[in-house]
Structure 1
Amino acid sequence: MKTIVTVQDVVTAFADFMEPTAAELDAIEQEMPVILADVDLLDAQIITLDRIPTELDNRRLRRARRRALAARIALAANRTAAATVPGGAA
């Protein structure tokens, strides 16, 4: 007969000592506008799941898509600007 044991590492995979690093928290903070815009887009899409979208629903979806796209573009622009080397390459 085999005994059943738990694997402690799997059970406590997210223990207190496994906090996110400062770099990970900074990355999350930079991506937060994109995350919030995506949540707004999902909310607009969820509203229209159980009914035929009205004109107001269509506007809400278009605005949410534009906000999500603008947030992604702004994030990409910030990352590109941060990645450039001061003084330029010669």
Structure 2
Amino acid sequence: MNHIVTVQDAVTAFAPWMEPTDAELDAIESEMPAILADVDLLDAQIVTLDRTPTELDERRIRRARRRVLAARRDLVNRTADASLPGGAA
């Protein structure tokens, strides 16, 4: 017979020692423009799920895609600049 019991780790998954570190919070903060651009793109795509996209919808999706690409490019450039000593490429 199998007994059903709660798992203590799952119940107390948010113990104080499991909080994100300052470095992890800084990484999230630096990625926030890319995250928000991805959310905007998803919002634009979700609007068109149940209907035929209009010309305005298509423009909104294209602009959102460009913002995602620009945000990711900026993130990669900042990360590359920060990781190379002396600013050499």
Amino acid at match of 1:77: N
Detail structure 1 runs of 4+ shifted over 4 Å in the superposition: 1-4
The TM-score, its normalising length taken from structure 2, stands at 0.88
Greater CA drift, 17-26 or 58-67? 17-26
CA drift of 1:4 comes to 4.4
Q: Cα RMSD over matched residues?
A: 1.7
Unaligned runs of 5+ in 1: none
Matched with 1:31 is: 31
- Asked if 1 retains the 8 angstrom alpha-carbon contact of 2:81 and 2:87, the reply is no
CA drift of 1:9 comes to 1.6
Greater CA drift, 37-46 or 7-16? 7-16
User: Greater helix percent: which structure?
Assistant: 2
Distance 1:81 1:87, change over 3 A: closer
Larger radius of gyration: 1
Q: 1:8-64 CA deviation, whole Å, 9 max, x = no partner?
A: 122111223321100000000000000000000000000010111110000000000
Q: What percentage of aligned pairs have identical amino acids?
A: 70
Aligned length: 88
CA distance in 1, matches of 2:62, 2:5: 53
Distance 1:2 1:66, change over 3 A: closer
Unaligned runs of 5+ in 2: none
